[in-house]
Amino acid sequence: MKSTYYGDTFSIVMHRYSDPDRLNAARNAAIYLGKGDRDNIKRPLSIIRMGHVPEVFRGEMVEFEFIDVSKEVYDHLITYTTRNMRVAGGNRALTSDGYTMPSDRMKWTSLVDSSIELSMFNYSSLLQNGESPQVARSAMPIAAKMNPFVYQFNFVTLMHIFNQRLWQRGAQGNTVKVVKGMYELVNSVDPELWETVRESMGEEMEDWKEVRKRLKKDQPRLYEKLIEDYGQRKSMWD
């Protein structure tokens, strides 16, 4: 199941998606809850909507190849140590022949551009003068484009990547663009699953967290009333 997302300066190839029909997750959800109908592909979605950690998805994975993605984004993705697999040229193989401008708001675009270009020039000069890639890399800016690299993430890790790098505020612009491409690729395979994840962990849920904090502080009586009227929780075992 190979498909490609084309960004403005990069591309992502999704090489593998392990459970496109959600049959593995359905079987595991049935075993988890002690149910007999193992082909109920809606049950894993119900587990997510109930707010439980969707362990039934941890054994499923997606494999991405990233092309012309900056070292900055590479570093932001590699922080997820629960990734299944990483394939990338190490210090001895890593070289770069281009860079990506920040997509965050810049005060002096031309100054940023010339500063990055100067760093790339210094990096290239070290290589041309016989320094090894691992030595020259010390002068490489984080905006430098990486050689293609491959990451394989299990579904649960992906859910947290989308939450932290896409739906919460504060992620850097280029990282947001790349993670948005990852979401678009998986969503094209199983939109019902990934829209459910977004509904449960996405922007709206982040907004509700802020609403809760402000209500509890500024209008405690209203907060208590809302909890009393609408805060009853059900168990997925019922």
Q: Show pLDDT as tens, one digit a residue, over the chain (238 residues).
A: 799 999 988 999 999 999 999 999 999 999 988 899 999 999 999 999 888 767 889 889 999 999 999 988 988 887 765 556 666 655 455 678 888 888 888 999 999 999 999 999 999 999 899 988 888 888 888 899 887 888 999 999 999 999 999 999 888 889 999 999 999 999 999 999 999 999 999 988 888 888 888 888 888 888 888 888 787 766 655 5
Domain map of the chain by residue range? 3-88+146-201, 96-145
Give the model's pLDDT for residue 80. 65
Single-letter amino acid, residue 77: L
DSSP per-residue codes, 30-71: HHHHT-S-TT-TTHHHHHHHTT---GGGTT-EEEEEEES-BH
Give the model's pLDDT for residue 87. 63
Give the model's pLDDT for residue 158. 93
d(CA 236, CA 238): 5
d(CA 37, CA 53): 21
* Third-level CATH fold of 3-88+146-201: Gyrase A; domain 2 (3.30.1360)
Q: Do residues 64 and 5 touch, judged by C-beta distance below 8 A? A: no
Give the model's pLDDT for residue 91. 46
- Give the bridge partners for 151, in sequence order: 64, 86
* Nearest C-alpha neighbor of 201 from the set 167, 158, 165: 167
Give the model's pLDDT for residue 142. 87
d(CA 19, CA 17): 6
* Nearest C-alpha neighbor of 128 from the set 97, 149, 101, 100: 97
First vs last C-alpha separation in the chain = 37
